[in-house]
Chain A
C-alpha cells in the first residue's frame, strides 16, 4: 500500500503503463494473406491499379490519422509532405548513377526521410499549439508550397511536373518491376510494414502521450510532459509515413505534378480519414478502401460522384462522427452480450427500404441533372440498366414513388429498430 509513496515526487512520472509492445498477430496475418491473395482473384490490370491506389491512400490516411485521430491536430496541408517525398524520390530516379545502385523497394524510405525532414522544419513552429492555430499554419504552409511548385521549376518541374522510370533501379532479386503485379507486391509489403510500425508507434509511450495531449494538454503538462514536444514527435513521424506514401506514388505512376501537393489533395485525405473514422486505428484503412472504390467505380457510372461523396461526408460528420469504424464498433457491446441476432431482422426491415429510397432519390438527382445539362435533342438516358426518355413524366413518377415509399417504410420501421437496439444493448433479460 505504501509502495506509491516511495516514488520520488519531485520527478515526473517515472514509469508509465503503455499497452504492451506485443502485437496481436491474427489481424495482421489475415491482412497479409488477403493482400497476397487479392491479385489472384482480381487479375486484370485495372483492378491492380485500383488496389495500388488503395494501398497508397491507406498509408497516407494512417499517417494523417496519427495527427488527427491520435494527436488531435487538424491539418489542411498534409498532402505537401507526401508530395514532396514523392518529388524527391522522382529526382532520385532521375539520378541514374545513384539510382542504379539501390534496389527499388527501398526508394520509399528516402521519400519518407525527405518528408520527415520537411516536417522537422515546419513542425518546429507549427506544433506550438494545436487547434485553430495549427490548422491555419498547416493551411498557410500547404498553400505556400503548392504555389511555389509552379515557381521553383528546378525541383517541382513547373506545370507539367517531373517524371521518371522506375526500371533503372538495381534489380531486386532479379525483379525489375516492369509489370504492374510486381509493383503491387512492393506496395503491399510497404502497406503491411508501415501499418504495423504506425500501430506499434501508437502503443509506445510517445503514442500514448499523444492521446493524452489531444484530450487534455494542460493535465499532460502538469504530469511533466511538454505538450509541444509530444505534438512535434507525432508530426514528424506522420511526415515520415506521408513521405513513404509519396514515394510509393512516384514508383506507381512515375509522374508527380502540382496536383499531388495542392489543397484539394489535402482536403481529400481529410475526407478519407474522417469517413473511415478517426477514433480507431483501422478507421482510415476502411476509409481509404471505401473512398477509392467510390472514386474509381462510382465515377465510371456517374458524373456526379463528387456530389454524392460530399453528401456522404457531411452526413458522416453530422450523424456518425465516429465514421465507418465507429459504426462498426458500436455493435461490439451487442456482440459481447450475445444479443446481436436480435438486430438482424429489424436491420433488414429498415435498411433495405432506406437503401431503395436513397437509390430512388439518386435517380431523381440524376434525372434532374440530365434534364438540365443533357445535350439538346438527346432525351434518352440510361439509369439502373433501363433506358428511358428523361423528358416524359412517367420515369419521374416512378422514381418519386420509389423514393417516397422506400423512405416511408424505413421511417415506419425505425422505432422498432430502436427498440431492438436498446434491447440488444441491455444486460440480462431473455436472449
Chain B
C-alpha cells in the first residue's frame, strides 16, 4: 500500500512533466496543424540555458530567464522558418521541424560538448520532504508538482477566462474571421508558438537537474511526447493532461512491480512449455514488465490509432 503511494507520486511527477511538454505541443498543433518535432529540443535548450545562467546568477534566475530565451527562440523559428515552409504544405513542415530537431541536437553538442552537464538541484530544495515507510520523497519532486500544476491552472485561466485567450481560441477555429475583425493572426500564431516552446523550456529547466542535462535528453523524451498527444487526441488540452498522467503512471508501475509474462500466461491457463531453450517463444515467456515499461506507451498509441484514431478526447474528423 505504501509502495503504491510512492509510485503514485513518482508517476504524477513524470506525468506532469510530460504534460508541460505536451500542452505546448498540442496547442501548437491545434493552431497550425503541424506536429512540431523539435518541441523536445526546446525542452533541452531550456535545460542547457538554465544551466549556463545558473552558473552566473543561480538557479532561480535560470528558472525565470531561460524559458524567456527559449520562447523568443521559438517565436523566431516560427517567424523566419516555419512560416516560410508553410507555403509548401504539411509534409515539408513536418520534415522541417524534424531537421530542426537534428540541428539543435548538433548545436548543443557543438556549444556544450557531449558530456552530461553538472546541473544540480539547488541547495535550498535539496532535502527530504517526507518519508513514506522508508521511501523518502525529495522536496524537489514536490516543487516540480507545484510548478506544473500552477502552470496548468494559469494556462487554463488565460485560455478560457481572458480576452487574449478568447481571441486565441477563436483564431484556432476561424482564423480568417478573426483577421477580418482586425486582429493580427500571424502575430497570434507566433505568440502561441513562443509560449508553447517557453513551456517546454520551463519543463527543461526543472527536469534538467533530475533527469540529467545531456545532448540525448531531447531524443529520450521527444517521441514519448508525441505519443502522449496522439493518445490524448490531437489538439485537446484535457486529453494531453489525461494521457500524460496515464503514461506517467503506467510506466512507473510497470517498472516497480516485476510482473512476469509466465505468471500471466499460467494464470489464464497456458502451461509453461517443458524445454524452454528450444522454444521459439522463449523470449516471449521470459518477458517482465520492467523490460517492456518503456515501450508500453507505443503499444498503447498503436492500439489507440487503430481502434480510435481521433484519440481519447479528440474530435472525430470524419
Contacts and interface: CB of A to CB of B under 8 A. Distances in A.
Q: Decide whether A and B assemble into one complex.
A: yes
Interface of A: 68, 72, 74, 125, 128-129, 131-133, 135-137, 139-141, 143-144, 147-148, 151-155, 263, 267, 270-271, 274, 304, 306-307, 310-311, 313-314, 317-318, 321, 365, 369, 372-373
A266 B242 CA distance: 30
Interface stretch (B152-160, B226-234, B263-271): B226-234
Contacts, number: 106
B90 A131 contact: yes
A372 B219 CA distance: 24
Nearest to A155: B283
Contacts of B35: 132, 135-136
Nearest to A136: B230
Interface stretch (B1-9, B244-252, B294-302): B294-302
Interface stretch (B44-52, B95-103, B204-212): B95-103
Contact of A74 (B95, B103, B106, B284): B95
Nearest to B80: A318
A144 B299 contact: yes
Q: Bin the interface of chain B by size.
A: 35 or more
Contacts of B282: 154
Given A125-B306, A304-B110, A313-B99, A147 B283 contact: no
A306 B106 CA distance: 7
A296 B315 CA distance: 48
Contacts of B96: 314, 317-318
Contacts of A372: 111, 113
Contact of B291 (A151, A311, A317, A365): A151
A304 B292 CA distance: 35
A148 B305 CA distance: 20
Contact of A133 (B100, B292, B309): B309
A310 B295 contact: no
B85 interface: yes
Interface string B178-202: 0000000000000000000000000
19 contacts: A72-B91, A125-B306, A132-B90, A132-B234, A147-B294, A148-B295, A151-B287, A151-B291, A152-B283, A154-B283, A270-B98, A271-B102, A310-B102, A310-B103, A313-B99, A314-B103, A317-B92, A317-B95, A372-B111
Interface string B73-96: 000000001001100101110111
Given A310-B99, A317-B85, A321-B88, A141 B302 contact: yes
Contact of B302 (A140, A152, A369): A140
A267 B102 contact: yes
A267 B226 contact: no
